[in-house]
Amino acid sequence: MSVYKVIELVGTSKESWEDAARVAIETAGESLRDLRVAEITKLDIRLDDGEIVEYRARVLISFKFEGIAE
């Protein structure tokens, strides 16, 4: 049996939503172990004077929960 923790992150990119999601997942992987599932829950863009300046991807990421060492 296993337990997984889920966190929500927002990745950003000037290029695309795919890059924004990748940034969130890769950044999470730098400090979390055993990533299991990533779910894109929301995509949006930031505008400046009507021009797209940033793509944003809200991502739920699950990883195996190892508990607190005692």
pLDDT of amino acid 68? 64
pLDDT in tens, 27-42: 999 999 899 999 999 9
The reported pLDDT for the residue numbered 2 is 83
Q: Is the pLDDT of residue 53 over 60?
A: yes
Beta carbons within 10 angstroms of residue 9's beta carbon: 16
Architecture, CATH, for domain 4-64: 2-Layer Sandwich (3.30)
Q: Where are the alpha helices (DSSP H) in the chain?
A: 17-31
What integer pLDDT is reported at residue 69 of this predicted model?
54
* Amino acid 66: pLDDT: 81
Domain positions in the chain are 4-64
What are the distances in angstroms from CA 8 to CA 20, 47, 54, 67? 14, 23, 19, 19
